[in-house]
Structure 1
Amino acid sequence: MNKFKLMLAGGLMLWLAGCATGAHRLPYDSWRLGLFAPNYMEVWIETADAVDVQDRVFRRAMSGIAAINTPKDLKGDPRGWPEQPGAGAGKQVLGAGLPRLIYVRWQSLAEPQTYEAYIVIPEAIRQAMIKGEKTYCAFDGKWITDYRKMLTVGLAPGGIAKVWIMGPCLSAIDVGRVQGTVVKEGPYLGEASGYYRPPNEASRAYIEKHGIPYGSW
């Protein structure tokens, strides 16, 4: 094969590779995974792992305390989900393509109980994550092209996981609700000898007074 044919074959291979990955190429550097809990329903995240469309696994993309509000006057309302949730406590998932699956294992300190959930991200949601929209961003007072590059998961007692995508200046889109399952081994897959850290003082006081509003999530 002469040099021209070799160059042509190499170019074709690069073009085909680009076609194979182009459908999920990101128009931004990375997307963000954030997690939160309803008021007073404190959560400790053992791990939140992400699997992208190329089946690459990003373990412990997030772990630790989920974002939460615990007003000391006990007037916060944990029932239901906000129409426009915040971004949650989280991190950028660097080097990942669009998300295909999110796995979360967490301790619901309000109960206490350990749960896990597998959250499938539909193709329609992935396409919405790479669709740019013109919007006015009050943060810097400009019209910009924004993307829903933030994936937020709400974690509630009873093993409920609720998911949204949103942009820094774009409203949230509801992805869905997942019923998690109890992890029979307990905290850290049995390595913590069944120990749960107590919720903070305001959370304990609220639960003692009002209980846990199961069924509202």
Structure 2
Amino acid sequence: YDAWRLGFFAPDYMEVWIETADAVDTNDRWFKRAMSGVSSISSPSNLKGNPRGWPRNPGDGKGKYVYGADLPCFIYVRWQSLAEPQTYYAYIEIPESARELMVKGERAYCRGRGKWITDYRENITIGLAPGGVAKAWVNGPCLDAIEVSRVQGKVVSKGPYLGESGGKYGLKLEPDAQAYIDKFGIPYDSW
């Protein structure tokens, strides 16, 4: 295919701001800022959400297609965990086994199209959680996600925007997210 998709999400209420997500493909080409900005997140009202753990089959997340790239070898991501607040970075290896899954066509029933198709896992979905945890899956529009990597990010000692913001974070938590964290805290041990 001509492109693969890079998407991000965070657990319920645990909002993140992606400063940059860069991709390196199998030809050692670096795709700077393949994604940046807010990730996909759910903040149900009345504190009914559950941020503990990862979903069994995460969706695509918020993201963009990476055009002109070969299959990915690794993703570098630097993000602000607004729930804490803290800034992290991580290098997420996309192993050869994941790239093999991305090019292997599989027969699947696609509910959206109402028929059987041959589908591909053309999406790299990355979950970002407080404490610097990053987890990656490959998935397709009609295929379940398969976990391919989990890494522990490191704290960016210079702070948000590599120190260029004077220690100020880009966004504030939404009221429902702040209310959840104030009442229940951050479930660090669940990711």
Shared fold by TM > 0.5? yes
Structure 1 residues without counterparts, runs of 5 or longer: 1-27
Q: Which runs of 4+ in 1 moved over 3 A?
A: none
2:187 is matched with which residue?
Answer: 213
SS of match in other structure, 2:161: helix
The structural deviation recorded for 1:29 is 1.6
SS of match in other structure, 2:182: helix
Where in structure 2 are the equivalents of 1:121-160 lying within 5 Å? 121-160=94-133
1:60 maps to which of 7, 14, 33: 33
C-alpha separation in 2, matches of 1:37 and 1:106: 11
Q: TM-score, normalised by structure 2?
A: 0.98
Render the CA deviation track for 1:81-116: whole Å, top value 9, x for unaligned. Answer: 000001000000000000001000000000000000
C-alpha separation in 1, matches of 2:94 and 2:59: 19
Larger Rg: 1
2:175 is matched with which residue?
Answer: 201
Q: How many residues align?
A: 190
Q: Does 1:37 align with 2:10?
A: yes
Q: Does 1:184 align with 2:157?
A: yes
SS of match in other structure, 2:180: helix
Q: TM-score, normalised by structure 1?
A: 0.87
Amino acid at match of 1:171: D
C-alpha separation in 2, matches of 1:198 and 1:130: 40
C-alpha separation in 2, matches of 1:173 and 1:50: 19
Q: Is the 8 A contact 2:93 2:149 kept in 1?
A: no
> Greater share of strand residues, 1 or 2?
2
> Greater share of helix residues, 1 or 2?
1
The structural deviation recorded for 1:148 is 0.3
- State the identity as a percent: 66
The alignment's C-alpha RMSD in Å is 0.6
C-alpha separation in 1, matches of 2:97 and 2:138: 12
Q: Does 1:164 align with 2:131?
A: no
Q: Is the 8 A contact 2:94 2:149 kept in 1?
A: no
Name which structure has the greater RCO, CA cutoff 8 Å, separation 6+. 2
